[in-house]
Structure 1
Amino acid sequence: MTKPLDIVFLGLSLSSSWGNGHATTFRGLLKGLHELGHRVTFLERDVPWYASHRDLRDPDFCALRYYETTDDLHRNFARCLRDADIVVVGSFVPEGPEIIDVVASLCTGQFCFYDIDTPVTLARLSTDDCEYIARRQVPYFDVYFSFTGGPTLARLTAEFGARRAEPLYCSVDPERHHGTGDPIRWDLGYLGTYSPDRQATLEALLFEPARRMPERRFVVAGSQYPREIAWPDNVDRIEHLPPADHAAFYSSQRYTLNVTRSSMIAAGWSPSVRLFEAAACGTAIISDSWAGLDSLFPERTIHTARRTEDVIGILSGESDGARLAMAKQARVLILAAHTSIARAREFVSLLARAKSPRSVLDLDVESAA
């Protein structure tokens, strides 16, 4: 796979980062593939909630195209899908099972699934009640790329019939994510869309430290937080933070907080992009704890916290020198292994080791549809 490849992605959204982390992940990977010389097309369902919040309308690293229905996809992009060397369908694509069947009937190259929500997907596949992929479709794919590594990969093959399961984590663009020199405004910040299963941890690791340390400044950026939340007076709110502003946001914090969804904690080996972005910006990280975190961030590169007192102890007890030294080691680690171009190389390398593309004739797609 040394020649330039034609690669088509069908994902939740590339054009809008509003209320989803998929856009950031796809942007990094696609930019890396473009830098490696590959030709990339991204096909996105044209939906009003993203259309009204688009923060990337004309990417210079891929062709961004929209479709309105499954029939529209088949009618206008059949040749694009048929001629591609690689086609990748992502998780949470609207009408995903129908889309997967259409693409499987057209694809002649390698066919892959990129699951940016693996723990959620597996929980739904267990009852075959997943709106974006049917259980019968898991074996369709030459490679099932997963945002979750560790034991989940073996479960994908043994329990769900994946031909081959590989981890493909998010990444960071070092041209976009680096220290900006902005003055420190906050002692601790958090960037994340509201999630009910993260809120208790956010309360314990940010809200309560803010209440107990009124002389300190805190910030939470992200959309969809309920109006009834009682925000401490020293916690600033940013409703939506476009990706272009992430570097300045992280650079303005002494520490940033990482809070993980409960399903991803249970699965382990599920790093959030905020870990990579903050580290690339040279910002020290305090994270909740989960299996596999130390395989990505050794102890010398990150703090973990389980309760309010842990955060208070870090904020009040660590010197600036120790904080900056830890952040520097994390940045070196991320720039060595988790940049967008490193992840793109990993993606292409994993595909090069895959078996020959499956024949759609063996999948009985039409009778399953």
Structure 2
Amino acid sequence: MSGLNIAFFGSSLVSAYWNGAATYYRGMLRALAGRGHRITFYEPDAYDRQAHRDIPDPPWARVVVYQPTEADADAMLADAAGADVLVKASGVGVLDAYLEAGVLAARRAGQIVLFWDVDAPATLDSMRHDPDDRLAPLVPHFDMVLTYGGGDPVVTAYEREFGARRCVPIYNALDPATHHPVPREKRFACDLAFLGNRLPDREARVEAFFLEAAQRLPDRRFLLGGSGWADKGLPPNVTDLGHVYTADHNALNVSALAVLNISRESMARTGFSPATRVFEAAGAGACLITDAWEGIGLFFEPGHEILVAEDGAAVAEHVAALTPERARAIGEAALRRVLADHTYASRAVQVEALLTGRRAAADRVPA
């Protein structure tokens, strides 16, 4: 089968500003393009993302930026009409419900229409509890739901609770072309680094795992990267870096003695959802410390490829006990594992099999 023409409606491909899914989109779609599929990414000019671009338009995707109006959204849907695959991702941030209804209404014979959920816990919570949620009745009409994590709990919820025809997790992974070991940089030298935007269901866990560890280790240096922390009261040994552009992620990851992953509250409850930055840090050869969540062992071996902490006290204990040699050994083991088992190239093979299988089935059904 020749390459598919894929039209993707998402938050942003070119900017990671208030857009944690950016590197997931880039890795996944770049890998699909590398397998001969043609990608068009439609993103709204919203949340000042275009003013904070991390990358120019990539050669492997056509990027179309539109104004966040229904008229412009309609024009984008018309532009995408000839695609073999229409994808609406969660969390575009503007006109989400309008676009979800729009891609289904625009479906033509033989076309595959997917909902790709990059924050399944939040989406499921909204469908369960928000009386104004408009996605739930549409779920059975999508050919498939893909998620960037969640394991059996998310699959069961989508298929049994909301009637999805099929739900398949496509986990975060590593793109070795963008995230890899680089020389250390003095400006990012520290004992522990955490990178994540300030979000309502993350802040309390950052306080519990990161800031408490900093308070327990007043003689150690901590770096906090991400948007929204400027007015947060921080211990004196914590430096707020503000938004860290993706071009600096590798240097930040390799320059810290250890890098901390903190799942958002909704992700921690659901489990089986390693964040994109777990794989990015591992790809740089960083020593990772993560909060505990169900399913870690499916991705990395605790104690050998990753360190696991139940709370801020445990994070502090890990940091205090780490030597540069031990940190380097853990980081090297994580790098070997992620290159062997968790690249976007392997994820793209999985997605391609799902899409071509669904396309073949659709072609067998008379119009």
Same fold (TM over 0.5): yes
2-structure distance, mates of 1:312, 1:58: 41
2-structure distance, mates of 1:260, 1:158: 26
**Residue deviations 1:61-101, cap 9 Å, x none?**
200002223332333551x4222111110002222222122
Q: In 1, are the aligned partners of 2:77 and 2:102 still within 8 Å (CA)?
A: no
1-structure distance, mates of 2:100, 2:358: 20
Tell whether 2:193 aligns with 1:203: no
2-structure distance, mates of 1:15, 1:117: 19
Question: Which of 314, 317, 326 pairs up with 1:310?
Answer: 314
Tell whether 2:357 aligns with 1:353: yes
Corresponding residue pairs, total: 357
Partner residue in 2 for 1:278:
281
Q: In 2, are the aligned partners of 1:143 and 1:351 still within 8 Å (CA)?
A: no
Q: In 2, are the aligned partners of 1:259 and 1:287 still within 8 Å (CA)?
A: yes
Q: In 2, are the aligned partners of 1:83 and 1:107 still within 8 Å (CA)?
A: no
Matched letter for residue 7 of structure 1: I
1-structure distance, mates of 2:327, 2:97: 47
Mark the CA change 1:203 to 1:128 in structure 2 (over 3 Å): closer, same or farther: closer
Partner residue in 1 for 2:106:
106
3-state SS in 2 of match to 1:173: coil
Tell whether 2:329 aligns with 1:330: no
**Residue deviations 1:241-293, cap 9 Å, x none?**
11111001101111000101111111111110110000000001111111112
The Cα of 1:55 is off from its aligned counterpart by 2.5
Matched letter for residue 210 of structure 1: A
Mark the CA change 1:13 to 1:102 in structure 2 (over 3 Å): closer, same or farther: same
**Residue deviations 1:5-58, cap 9 Å, x none?**
111100011222111212221111111112112110001122252233223342
Mark the CA change 1:58 to 1:285 in structure 2 (over 3 Å): closer, same or farther: same
Please identify runs of 4+ aligned residues in structure 1 that moved more than 6 A: none
1-structure distance, mates of 2:53, 2:185: 29
2-structure distance, mates of 1:138, 1:335: 34
1-structure distance, mates of 2:307, 2:285: 14
Q: In 2, are the aligned partners of 1:171 and 1:273 still within 8 Å (CA)?
A: yes
3-state SS in 2 of match to 1:215: coil
2-structure distance, mates of 1:112, 1:331: 32
Query: 1:157-236 alignment to 2 at 5 Å?
Result: 157-183=159-185, 185-225=189-229, 227=231, 229-236=232-239
In percent, how many aligned pairs have the same letter?
34
2-structure distance, mates of 1:317, 1:44: 45
- Let me know the Cα RMSD of the aligned residues: 2.3
Mark the CA change 1:315 to 1:48 in structure 2 (over 3 Å): closer, same or farther: closer
Matched letter for residue 112 of structure 2: Q
Mark the CA change 1:143 to 1:210 in structure 2 (over 3 Å): closer, same or farther: same
Q: Structure 2: 5+ residue runs without aligned partners?
A: none
Matched letter for residue 207 of structure 1: L
Mark the CA change 1:345 to 1:130 in structure 2 (over 3 Å): closer, same or farther: farther
The Cα of 1:343 is off from its aligned counterpart by 1.9
Partner residue in 2 for 1:26:
25
1-structure distance, mates of 2:76, 2:235: 52
Partner residue in 2 for 1:117:
119
2-structure distance, mates of 1:175, 1:20: 20
The Cα of 1:307 is off from its aligned counterpart by 2.4
Moved more, 311-320 or 80-89: 311-320
Partner residue in 2 for 1:365:
none
Moved more, 57-66 or 122-131: 122-131
Partner residue in 2 for 1:4:
3
Partner residue in 1 for 2:246:
243
3-state SS in 2 of match to 1:52: helix
2-structure distance, mates of 1:178, 1:266: 30
Moved more, 308-317 or 114-123: 308-317
Partner residue in 2 for 1:150:
152
2-structure distance, mates of 1:25, 1:202: 22
The Cα of 1:334 is off from its aligned counterpart by 1.0
Moved more, 52-61 or 113-122: 52-61
1-structure distance, mates of 2:354, 2:113: 13
2-structure distance, mates of 1:157, 1:308: 36
Q: In 2, are the aligned partners of 1:218 and 1:235 still within 8 Å (CA)?
A: yes
3-state SS in 1 of match to 2:236: coil
Mark the CA change 1:302 to 1:126 in structure 2 (over 3 Å): closer, same or farther: same
Q: Structure 1: 5+ residue runs without aligned partners?
A: 363-369
Partner residue in 2 for 1:301:
305
Query: 1:73-92 alignment to 2 at 5 Å?
Result: 73-75=73-75, 77-78=77-78, 80-92=79-91
Matched letter for residue 214 of structure 2: A
Moved more, 236-245 or 336-345: 336-345
Matched letter for residue 47 of structure 1: A
